[in-house]
Structure 1
Amino acid sequence: MSEDFSAWVGRREEFVDVLEPGRTNALRVALGQAEPLALADDLPLLHHWLYFWDVKAPERLGPDGHPARGGFLPPTLLPRRMWAGGRLKFLQALKVGEQATKTSTILKIEAKSGKSGKLVFVTVEHRLAGEAGLAVVEEHDIVYRQAAAPGSIKGPAGEGRAPSAPWRREIFPDPVLLFRYSALTMNGHRIHYDRPYAVDEEAYAGLVVHGPLQATLLVDMAARNLKAPITGFDFRAMSPAFDGTTLHVCGEPTKAGARVWTEQGGTTNMAATVTCG
């Protein structure tokens, strides 16, 4: 019998936070951007993921380090959780130092079957408003999967050939960078910092590079190269990226904005489209 999560559709929660400069500046330094932002500067795109922490007591955490399911998110029995992708509209800039509100609503829950077995997709809408009003509308796709067989999720065979792209940046995702991003986002998922857990329990080839971190690198690359303001960003995870191998952050302009992607060892890890308005 399939799990029935219809009661979770429409659930809502709200967080209020101050977009203080410490977190955004810490991430900028970690990614090689030493010049600090000041109060009232525009918050860089996707840096809102550093705020609105949902901190739970130890007894309210699941074995993977995430908050235990059955509160806001449905209590699916599938053990592996992934950030599958998302779609964002940027209506106006959030400002460093301002108070902001995030309202999250579960839009839909779908059970499916794929090559890897049973899947449950959860789509959550986040609406972020600063002191000037609604600033970001985001649809966040979460997927829950069955347990994977040991050693079944392979990493890159090597560095491979550097991709050919008009825009390209190399990032070396070592454990320090992954730990710092986990800390700045209060992301307790153990696949990003606990190697024995990532390999032995979730069958990954190593520590997993965060999907949101890759997305942040991609939108930053687009913002650096495009003259028009970015109004939309749609991204999808393709395959996991791991620590210890160069991550190529790539992009090229299009008529509507840009196409950007991350690549590791010749495999595309995340693909995204950028829209300008």
Structure 2
Amino acid sequence: MQSTLDPDILQTWVNKAEMREDVLRAAPANLMEMTLDRDATLKIGDVLPPLWHWLYFLQSAPLSALGRDGHPARGGFLPPVALPRRMWAGGRFGFFHPLHIGVQVQKHSVIKDVALKTGRSGPLCFVTVRHEVQDTDGLAFWEEHDIVYREDPAPDATARLTAPVGNDWQHSETVHPTEVMLFRYSALTFNGHRIHYDRDYARNVEGHAGLVVHGPLIATMLMDLAQRVSDGSMPRSFEFRAASPLFEGAPFSLHARRQGDAVNLSAATSEGRLAMQATARF
């Protein structure tokens, strides 16, 4: 389908829906544990950690149906936005009960909103997708995620500096992202986006400083940290917002601060500047 920025055409995608089914097999969860440098311990009947559902319901397409960035070409479930760069901007979750490894699950997805805006770098298009995941006990959680489409950067463009995250944190740890970590997560999520494994493409086409750490992987790490500082409790809600990319080979830090029923979280660059902000509530 021909890509477009015609708002009337793009609005026809609002309320477009699809449904996917999957079985929460133990193998992907065990491979994720090892990707996080842990022993593989999860088995049938265990609780699937929050956000690890991204290892399931994988989107697939033949090689001939992929766009230049490695994603499936647009115009199917997602609207055919005529802007070349696609990124996760953030997401929100409401949790009702945990999912367990081994169960069959359904994910009902709908395009909630398509909005065209103009930013500092030119035209932007924000697409909000809502998912509801259910098992035999009913609705387990809902998720809304925001996708932003934008132009390629100008050759002389410089990255915008985000604010420092400061030092007022109760828990902090450092992550050393490697090419293998990014490759494994791309493989586990069947994510063909070339910014995560094709260094020349990431630098020369999309204008990044190097291979980009997946936004969902960073969000998963922040959710994991929030649970660890909350005695393993299951969250009631979680929201995150990406501020700037993180790159392979550049250590980044995760931070958490508990305030009442909330855990405030951030991921920061090696210079201490904000890359992702999040809040989990228990």
What TM bracket, shorter-length normalisation?
Answer: over 0.9
Q: Give the structure 2 partner of residue 173 of structure 1.
A: 177
Which amino acid is 2:170 matched to?
A: P
Structure 2 CA distance for partners of 1:30 and 1:177, relative to 1, 3 Å: same
- Structure 1 range deviating more: 3-12 or 174-183: 3-12
Q: What whole-Å deviation, never above 9, does each CA across 1:217-264 have from its counterpart, x for those lacking one?
A: 000001011144311001000011111111101111012320011001
Q: Give the structure 2 partner of residue 74 of structure 1.
A: 79
Whole-Å separation in 1 of the counterparts to 2:181 and 2:37: 11
SS in 2 for 1:212: helix
Structure 2 CA distance for partners of 1:151 and 1:92, relative to 1, 3 Å: farther
SS in 1 for 2:236: strand
Deviation at 1:161, TM superposition (A): 11
For 1:88-107, what aligned pairs fall within 5 Å after superposition?
88-107=93-112
Q: Give the structure 2 partner of residue 255 of structure 1.
A: 260
SS in 2 for 1:55: coil
Give the gaps of 5 or more residues in structure 1. Answer: none
Is 2:188 the counterpart of 1:184?
A: yes
For 1:1-277, what aligned pairs fall within 5 Å after superposition?
2-4=6-8, 5-150=10-155, 152=157, 154=159, 165-227=169-231, 228-264=233-269, 265-276=271-282
Is contact 2:31-2:40 (8 Å) kept?
no
Is contact 1:155-1:241 (8 Å) kept?
no
Q: What whole-Å deviation, never above 9, does each CA across 1:29-75 have from its counterpart, x for those lacking one?
A: 11122141110100001000000011101111111000100111111
Whole-Å separation in 2 of the counterparts to 1:41 and 1:155: 42
Whole-Å separation in 2 of the counterparts to 1:141 and 1:91: 21
TM-score when normalising by structure 1? 0.94
SS in 2 for 1:8: coil
Quick one: percent identity of the two aligned structures?
Answer: 45
Aligned residues: 273
Q: What whole-Å deviation, never above 9, does each CA across 1:112-151 have from its counterpart, x for those lacking one?
A: 0111111000000000012221101000100001111236
Deviation at 1:169, TM superposition (A): 1.6
Q: What whole-Å deviation, never above 9, does each CA across 1:69-114 have from its counterpart, x for those lacking one?
A: 0111111110000000000011100110111111110001000011
Is contact 2:236-2:281 (8 Å) kept?
yes
The RMSD of aligned alpha carbons is: 1.9
SS in 2 for 1:28: helix
Which consecutive aligned stretches of 4+ in structure 1 deviate over 2 angstroms post-superposition? 1-4, 150-156, 160-165
Whole-Å separation in 1 of the counterparts to 2:177 and 2:167: 17
TM-score when normalising by structure 2? 0.92
Whole-Å separation in 2 of the counterparts to 1:49 and 1:13: 16
Give the gaps of 5 or more residues in structure 2. Answer: none
Whole-Å separation in 2 of the counterparts to 1:138 and 1:190: 25
